Amino acid sequence: MPNDDALTAFGLRWAGDVPDCDCAVWQDNWAAVIVFKHMMTQWTMSFSGPVGLRYEALPVVLRLLEVPRKEWADLFPDLRLMESAALECMHEDK
């Protein structure tokens, strides 16, 4: 479990244990989920906590994951949707 003081310093909180289980993902969404997972360390932080992903890091991640460039535009809205949902979860008690 992460240190509560360290999380609070970044405006985050620990919501409890994360179950160790599989999560079903439709094949059409798989690439976006993998990209989002690899972007998890690329949050822009403010005094109130995370405010969004650092989009300037996205092309680097996409290239490293060898996502074909013609798929980038289709992945972006899915990534934004996951970013929005993650931000809602991270800020729900504020």
Poorest-confidence range of 6-10, 32-36, 38-42?
6-10
Residue 41 pLDDT > 70, yes or no?
yes
Q: Which residue has the higher pLDDT, 61 or 24?
A: 61
Q: Cα–Cα distance between 86 and 66 in angstroms, integer?
A: 25
pLDDT at residue 23 in the model: 73
Split at pLDDT 50, 70, 90, the class of 27 is: confident
% of residues, the chain, pLDDT over 70: 82
Distances in Å between the alpha carbon of 73 and those of 12, 32, 58, 59, 66? Answer: 30, 11, 12, 11, 14
Scan for tokens 């949707």, then name that residue.
81
